[in-house]
Amino acid sequence: MIPAQPGAPWRVHGLDLSYFTGKIEAYLRAKGIAYKLVEMDTAGFAACALATGVRQMPQIELGDGRWLTDTTPSMGWIEAQYPEPRIAPENALVGFVSRLIEDFGDEALWRPALYYRWAKPDDARLMSGRIAAGMLRDIKLPLALRRQFILRRQRHHYLRGEGVTAANSAAVEALYLDSLAVLEPVLATRDFIMGARPCEADFGLFASMFRHFFCDPTPAQIMRDRAPHVLAWVTRLWAISPDDFADAPALETVPADLAPLLALIGRDYLPYLAANAAACAAGDKTVRYTFYGGDFETRCNAYHAWCLDQLRIGFAPLAQSDHAKLETWLGADALAVLVVPRDAGIAVAQVLPIAAPPMTALRDRQWRS
């Protein structure tokens, strides 16, 4: 079923090599929503920022003149406006796990995705050339200078800015390798992460797995060699239409074979979110933490504090029996991250997908692609 749209197609302003652009494109394909990708240049990027107040990609221009920004709240808004075909699971526990995996895919796999793109010579050479010839096509400088600008900028922001050093780079690579290892047996047995129909978890993981790990030379070779069923899932999700899962049953249980992935999230990602949120609340500029066996120091990330708020909001109404299951999967310490003390409340940074989210909440996504 293709949902009715007030004017079509929607215009997705982004890049065809962009992490989050690929994520929202696949989601729109699954929903059956017609869209056109509008490849940004620097002028287009500035024009979108002027329209919405946010310097990031992708940004979705709706057929009626409104805009959506930030993929996660945008997907939630679209689900509410166009419920069919349903992507968000109705079962409370399944829905929470789906959103938790989506958040991990969006935010934790960002670091290895950018690491492989900008730390590996062949990948950096290819992608700096593509961005220089694409997004910087309206800059009146020789292509070689545009390439050099991109290479220096991206390495500054996405290697040094992500706390990546020679000492912890092995941990960054291990996160990718282990993610493939836990997903390969899952996707060898079914079409999508949680069952016969896609959910938020699929699209959160797809962001890195498609436009970076599937497409960039070094991680793509690793995926082909180690995880052919993950590779097949990437192509299946990119080619998806509503007809592909129209008759699939609703997602009612969390598959047991997701336990290794959830253990990974509980051991490394949730403790990072807690450390970052505490540093943000204290007014610190940086946060130090251990992630996947590597020691990192990064600037405090207000958006990641918001992500933890949203997970806590989703966790709060779950039944005690669901808490017990999550403790088994995530571990007791990780579960404690999700439990907000009764007298503490939740300091939620408001992020709306329509028009202009507050810059304070989304400043950490400037130029994120």
Long-range contacts, stretch 42-50, CB < 8 angstroms, 24+ apart: 42/135, 42/136, 42/138, 42/139, 43/138, 44/13, 45/135, 48/13
**Could you say which DSSP state residue 258 is in?**
G
In a domain, 190, yes or no: yes
In a domain, 162, yes or no: yes
Residues 128 and 219 in one domain: yes
Residues 229 and 262 in one domain: no
Residues 189 and 300 in one domain: no
- Do the strands 294-299 and 59-61 form a parallel or antiparallel pair, or are they unpaired? unpaired
Span 4-45, pLDDT tens digits? 455 568 999 999 999 999 999 999 999 999 999 999 999 999
Sign of CA dihedral 50, 55, 61, 66: negative
Residues 234 and 274 in one domain: no
Residues 232 and 335 in one domain: no
Q: Are 109 and 179 in contact (CB under 8 A)?
A: yes
Res. 294 pLDDT band, cuts 50 70 90: very high
Span 308-356, pLDDT tens digits? 999 999 999 999 999 999 999 999 999 999 997 644 444 444 444 444 3
Q: Which residue range forms the structural domain that includes residue 139?
A: 102-239
The last residue of one of the domains, among 205, 239, 273, is 239
Q: What CATH number does residue 150 fall under?
A: 1.20.1050.10
Please classify residue 152 by burial: count the beta carbons closer than 10 Å to its beta carbon, then call 0-12 exposed, 13-18 middle and 19+ buried: exposed
In a domain, 227, yes or no: yes
- For residue 213 the two structure tokens come to 């790990």
- For residue 79 the two structure tokens come to 């689900």
Residues 182 and 291 in one domain: no
pLDDT at 209: 98
The last residue of one of the domains, among 239, 271, 290, is 239
Span 267-281, pLDDT tens digits? 999 999 999 999 999
As a three-state string, the secondary structure of 212-242 is: HHHCCHHHHHHHHHHCHHHHHHHHHHHCCCH
CA 311/CA 308 separation, integer angstroms: 5
In a domain, 141, yes or no: yes
Residues 208 and 287 in one domain: no
The H-or-E segment that residue 311 falls in is: helix 302-315
CA 274/CA 68 separation, integer angstroms: 28
In a domain, 35, yes or no: no
Residues 113 and 216 in one domain: yes
**Number of domains present in the structure of the chain:** 2
Instruction: Name the least confident of 88-102, 128-142, 242-256, 330-344.
Output: 330-344
